[in-house]
Amino acid sequence: MIYDIDAPVLLRDTLADGLIRLVLRAPEIARAAKPGQFVHMLVPDSGHVLRRPISLMAMDAQAGTLTLAIQPKGPGTQKICALAPGAAVKCLGPLGTGFDGGDAQTVYFVGGGVGVAPVCAAMDAFATPTSHAFFGFRTKLHAYGMTQAPCAVTAVSDDGSIGQQAPVTAPLLAAIGVKRPDLIMACGPLPMLRAVQHIAREAGIPCQLSLEERMGCGIGACLGCSVRIADGHGGWHYRRVCKDGPVFDGMEVIFDG
């Protein structure tokens, strides 16, 4: 079931440098949502036209709340980030597919930048005592999502101000050398996802990648968010990130360029 509701903003604060946290009251969506899904948020003052996709960082079915981490990148996200507590924002969701932990005993989670947000939701649902998360940030000031994590977290950064100065795939590779996980779940910038896919392929570890694409309708109607996915017979077909994704079998994603 997909809902289109007016969600009051309960809390707005700064989660990290250039990252705003919004907590919304959206009981229907919070109850129905799975980790990896997103909401399509109406941009305030856009004449009920423009929406922007934002992942769920956490959902609390009991409290009826959604937590979002939003980078004010362009006009749409800037307006959404400026919403003050008490204001309401129209949210369509939950949308898309989610991560699926299946019967994996050990999951390695990989997040980069704003992609850490949906990985936090996946950790809440699928982390086990042997699971481990690997987060990559630009600097220590951009780091978030590590307090109250349900499993061990290793953070790295571009400048070495938190953890190693290394790509997030460095500690991931080292950890795979010590203990092979049953599954990898990842969300982050394209080069990171491409590298995670390569590592998972080489090691023969199943992986799930959450992709980002510019979106129009958000519900599978406009085909504006199509990506190439292998069809299992040596060819490929287009799949919609908003409806068939954003989480795809990492072995099947075809990265262009």
Would you tell me which residues interact with ligand FAD (CB under 6 A)? 38, 52-55, 69-71, 73-77, 114, 117, 212-215, 241, 246
| 222 touches, from ligand FAD, ligand FES, none (C-beta below 5 to 8 Å by class) | ligand FES
Instruction: Kindly state the smallest distance separating residue 41's Cβ from ligand FAD, in Å.
Output: 9
**In 41-168, alpha helices (H):** 75-81, 116-126
Query: Least CB distance from residue 172 to ligand FAD, whole Å?
Result: 21
Distance CA 236, CA 48 (A): 36
> Is residue 147 classed exposed, middle or buried when 0-12, 13-18 and 19+ CB atoms within 10 A define those classes?
exposed
Cβ pair 109, 188 in contact under 8 A: no
Q: Which of ligand FES, ligand FAD, none does residue 227 bind (CB under 5 to 8 Å by kind)? A: none
Residue 217: which of ligand FAD, ligand FES, none does it interact with, CB under 5 to 8 A by kind? ligand FES
User: How many alpha carbons fall within 13 Å on the CB side of residue 94?
Assistant: 29
> What is the nearest approach in angstroms of ligand FAD to the Cβ of residue 216?
11
Quick one: 151 or 219, whose CB is closer to ligand FES? 219
- Min dist. Cβ of residue 244 to ligand FAD (A): 12
CB of 213 to ligand FES, least distance (A): 8
Nearer to ligand FES, 137 or 248 (CB): 248
Question: Considering the complex, what minimum distance in angstroms separates the CB of residue 117 from ligand FAD?
Answer: 5
Which three-class secondary structure state does DSSP give residue 190? helix
Helix, strand, coil content of the chain in percent (nearest 5): 20, 35, 45
The CA-based diameter of the chain, rounded to the nearest angstrom, is 54
Residue 5: its H or E element = strand 3-16
Least spacing, CB of residue 128 vs ligand FES, in Å: 33
Strands (E), 30-179: 38-42, 51-55, 58-60, 65-70, 88-95, 107-112, 132-137, 152-157
Cβ closest to ligand FES, residue 52 vs residue 132: 52
Rounded-to-integer distance, Cα 49 and Cα 22, Å: 21
Q: Which is nearer to ligand FES, 176 or 225 (CB)?
A: 225
Nearer to ligand FES by C-beta: 127 or 225? 225
Residue 246 binds which entry of ligand FAD, ligand FES, none, CB below 5-8 Å type-dependent = ligand FAD
CA distance 19 to 70: 6
Binding positions for ligand FES, rule: CB under 6 A: 215-218, 220-225, 240, 242
For residue 221, the partner it binds in ligand FAD, ligand FES, none, with Cβ less than 5 to 8 A by kind, is: ligand FES
Residue nearest to ligand FAD (CB): 74
